[in-house]
């Protein structure tokens, strides 16, 4: 199998009201003022990303809107495929809850950097451990179907952590220690020798 290079971008910041609650796989809009303020970051990404490349987004509109904004700032417009396997962690019945209402519902102490521990599964949702399994399977499949290509994927913080955890073969609690900021770039490469992590959470400059 030829080398396949993945360029993983976390979607832009969501609007302020959505940030007040756990939104998981809810289809919340982006913050319009931040889209304007961060124009230099979009221009930086448009220059940094490989050409040509296959582009994928998730079924949630915030990833497509982010990709479209990168195109608007200089990257040649490209057809966007949709990859459900790289969507955000589902928080099930806890989606829509204000952050302050979550602690009494936890089954164990929360992770230092995430409201849930790595193996904790919200009612009707999925654990970070399950996210790693789901995302890992999708990444293996994409490495075959896009073999030898550059693949740009606009995804979500949880899914990108899951992809990196799959590449490094680390557990969910360790994965949650990784910071994945909005609009940051993380790069993975799949070769016949296995997975290689080239960078994590690279933030485009101004």
User: In which order are the strands placed within the sheet that holds 80-82?
Assistant: 80-82, 54-57, 150-155, 4-10, 185-191, 194-202
CATH superfamily of 4-202: Phosphoglycerate mutase-like (3.40.50.1240)
In this structure, is the dihedral angle defined by the CA atoms of residues 33, 36, 37 and 39, taken in order, positive or negative?
Answer: positive
Which residue(s) pair with 196 in the sheet? 189
Give the model's pLDDT for residue 106: 61
Structure tokens at 81: 């495929």
**Location of structure tokens 């997975």:** 195
Give the model's pLDDT for residue 62: 98
Alpha helices of 49-171 — where are they, by DSSP H? 61-72, 128-145, 157-168
Give the model's pLDDT for residue 170: 97
Residue-by-residue pLDDT tens, the chain, 206 positions: 589 999 999 999 999 999 999 899 999 999 999 999 999 999 999 999 999 999 999 999 999 999 999 999 999 999 999 999 999 999 999 899 998 777 665 656 666 666 687 888 999 999 999 999 999 999 999 999 999 999 999 999 999 999 999 999 999 999 999 999 999 999 999 999 999 999 999 998 75
Give the model's pLDDT for residue 105: 57
Give the model's pLDDT for residue 195: 98
Cα–Cα distance between 89 and 158 in angstroms, integer?
Answer: 6
Give the model's pLDDT for residue 99: 80
């Amino acid at each position: 199998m030829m080398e396949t290079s993945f360029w993983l971008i976390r979607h832009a910041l969501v609007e302020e009201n959505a940030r007040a609650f756990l939104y998981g796989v809810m289809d919340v809009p982006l913050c319009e003022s931040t889209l304007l303020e961060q124009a230099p970051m979009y221009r930086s990404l448009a220059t940094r990303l490989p050409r040509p490349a296959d582009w994928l987004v998730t079924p949630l509109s915030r990833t497509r809107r982010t990709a479209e904004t990168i195109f608007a700032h200089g990257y040649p417009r490209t057809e966007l495929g949709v990859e459900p396997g790289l969507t955000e962690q589902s928080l099930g019945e806890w989606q829509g809850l204000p952050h302050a209402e979550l602690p009494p519902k936890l089954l164990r102490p929360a992770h230092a950097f995430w409201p849930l521990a790595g193996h904790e599964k919200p009612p009707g949702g999925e654990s970070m451990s399950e996210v790693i399994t789901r995302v890992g399977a999708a990444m293996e499949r994409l490495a075959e179907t896009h073999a030898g290509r550059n693949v740009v994927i606009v995804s979500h913080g949880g899914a990108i952590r899951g992809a990196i955890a799959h590449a490094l073969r680390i557990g969910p609690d360790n994965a949650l220690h990784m910071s994945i900021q909005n609009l940051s770039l993380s790069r993975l490469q799949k070769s016949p020798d296995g997975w290689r992590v080239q960078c994590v959470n690279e933030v485009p400059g101004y």
